[in-house]
Structure 1
C-alpha cells in the first residue's frame, strides 16, 4: 500500500481530492484515487516520481526497495523516452526488474511520471497481464487528462501503446556491430570477399538475436554501418559519387523498412552493392583524378566551390577538369556539385534535427530559399517533405 493512504477510498474523497494539483503540488488524494483504480484493474501499484525519477508517493511492487541511484535513473529514462515516443515506455532496472510508465502533464506542464515497478524479471510469464497493464495505464491517464500533447494515440489504438527501451540490450548490440563491422568493411574494401562474408554472418546473427529491439533503433544502427562503409570506401580512393549514391539508396530503403525481415533483406543488399563497388575499383589515371576531385568536394562541401578552385586542388587545368567530368560522369561541374550537396542534405534531413537553414549552410548553399529550389529540382519534393517521409 502507499504511504499514509491506507484508509482512502474514491467514494470517501471530497471533490477537492479529485483535483490533480493542490497548493502547487500533486494532490495526494488524487494520486491515491488513481492508484486504487489502477490496482483494482491490474493488481499493480503505481508510484509517483518527479521528472528526475525520484519517488514522491507510493510504494513499488519490488522487494529491493528503497531503490538505488540506478533505479532513479531508470525511472527518469522512462519519463524522457515516453515523452519522445508518445508511448508507455518499458525498461529494466539494474536488478532486471521490469518498469513501465508515462509522464503526467497538468496545465500543459510536465510534472513527473506515473511509474509501475512490476517486480517481474521475465515478461514471458506474465505477457498478457503486462500488456493489459500498459493499456490500462494509458487509458487511465487519458481519461483523467494527464497526458502531454505528444501522447495523441486515439482510444481505438490502445492495443499498441507500449515500447521497450532496454538500453543494455541496445548497447550490447552496438558493441557487437563495432566489433564485427570494422573487419567486415575492411575486408570488403580490400576485396577479401570470403572473409567479408564470415563477418557479415556475425552481423546478421547479431541483428536476428536482437529483433525485438524497437525498429527505429535497428534502422539507426544499420544506417551507421552503411555510412561507415561509405566513408572508408571513399577514403580508399573509390568513386565517391557511386559510394554516396549507393549509401543514399540503402538509407532510403532503411527509412521505409517496417519489419526486421525487411531490414535483413536490406543488409543482404548492402553486401551485394558494396561487393560490386569493390570489384569496380578503377586503375585508370583519369579515374584517380576524378576520385581526387570528388574526395575534395566531400571534404569541402560547405565551402564556396568553383570549377577553377577544385581543378587547382586536383592539379589540372579547368578545361581539362571539365572534359574529365563530362567523359567520366556525363555531367557538368555544377550538376555534379549540386548532386553531392543534395545527397549530403538528404543525409542531414534524415539523421539530424537541424533546421533547413542550418542544413543549407552546412551543404554550401547561399541561403535556404536557393537550397529548397535546387533540392526540389533534384528530388521532386521539398526538403521538409523529404524529411517527413524518410525520417529514420
Structure 2
C-alpha cells in the first residue's frame, strides 16, 4: 500500500473519480508491483479488457504491464505512454517523492488511431491464448479513439494535480530513514552485548571484508533487495568496529563507494556517468558532520546504481531487463533458458536478447552464467558442500563444464579456489 502519511488517499480518490467521470476513462491506482487497489478502480473496465482478463494468465499479463509502465514512468518522472501486453494504449502518471517511486495512476482502454490490418495482426501475436479472435475484434470496435493531443493534455492535468498532493518532502523521508538506521544499530549493539562469544568471531575486519564481498556481488548482479539488506548490515558492523569514530567511518565509506562504483560498472552501468556520480558523492561526504549523513549518502548512491536511473544512461527498457534479472536470480538453480525468461515477460526471446545486449552488453545466457558463478563463489564458503554439490546447486548439469566456466570467470579451478578458503 502507498503510505497515507505521504499521500492523501481520500482526496486522491475524489480527484480520480471526478477525472474518470469527466473523461470516461478507466483509472486505477497501482503500487510498484503493478497491483491495483479495488477501491480506486473508478470506471468500469472496457469489454476488451474484461475479455482478455478472463483468459488464462490474463490478469497476470495486465499486472505485468502495469508494473513495467510504473517503473518506466517513475524513471522518467513524467506521464509515460505505453502499449500494454494485450495491445491497448495506456498512460501512466507516476506518484513519486523526489525520485522515490510510491506507485502510479494507470489510465487506459483507448485507441489513438483507427485499427488497420497491421494492428489486428499484431493483436493476434500478442494474444495467442485467445481462441475466438473474431470476438476480440468486435470488442476492439467498441473502444473509443482519442486524439493524441487530447490524451496528452489529460495526462498532464492529472500529473500536475496528483503531485501537488504530496505532503512530505525528501527531508522528512531522510529523517525517517536515519531514525530507522539508528534503531537498527542500537539493536545490533544490544544483541552483541548479549552474545559476547559470537561477537568475538564476527567483529573483526576479516568478517567485515567477507560481508563486503557478498555486498559487491549483489551490486554486480543488480540484486536490489539483497544488496540493500547487506548494505544495512555492512554499515552497522562498520559503525561497531570503528566505535563510531567519524574519521575512520569517512575513510571506509569513501573506499566502499569506490568499490561500489566499480561493481556497478561491471554490472552494466555506464562508466563515465558512474565516475561523475562518485565524484559528486565524495564532495558531499566532505561536508558531512554526523555518522548518519555518511550512511545516508551511501544508501542513496547504492540505490541510484541499482535502479539504473536515467542519470546512468538513456535506458528505455530497463524495466523489462530488471524483471528478467529478477526472474533469473530467483530461478538460476533450475535448468532455465532464454525462452523461459522471455515467456515470463510475455516477449519474444529475440527481443529479450536485443534488450540484454543494449542494456547490459551481454547475452541472456552470459548473465545466467554470471549469476550461477557468483552464487557458486558464495556456496564455496560452506565446507560441508563438495564442489560437485555446489555445481549442482547453482544449476550446472555437468561438473566438468562447471569447472571450465568457473575457471574462466574466477581465474582458478573450483577446487583450487575452495582450498584457498580453508
TM above 0.5, one fold? no
**Computing the radius of gyration over CA atoms, which structure comes out larger, 1 or 2?**
1
